Amino acid sequence: LIVALAVKHGWMLRQADVKTAYLNATLPNPVYLRLPKGLEEPDGSYYILRKATYGLGASGRLWWQ
Residue 7 has what pLDDT? 93
The stretch 39-63 carries a mean pLDDT of 76
Chain segment 3-50, per-residue pLDDT in tens: 999 999 999 998 766 666 667 778 888 888 888 788 877 777 788 888
Residue 63 has what pLDDT? 66
Give a three-class secondary structure readout of 5-65: HHHHHCCCCCCCCCCCHHHHCEEEEEEEECCCCCCCCCCCCCEEEEECCCCCCCHHHHHHC
Whole-model pTM: value is 0.47
Q: Name the residue type at position 42.
A: P
Residue 21 has what pLDDT? 65
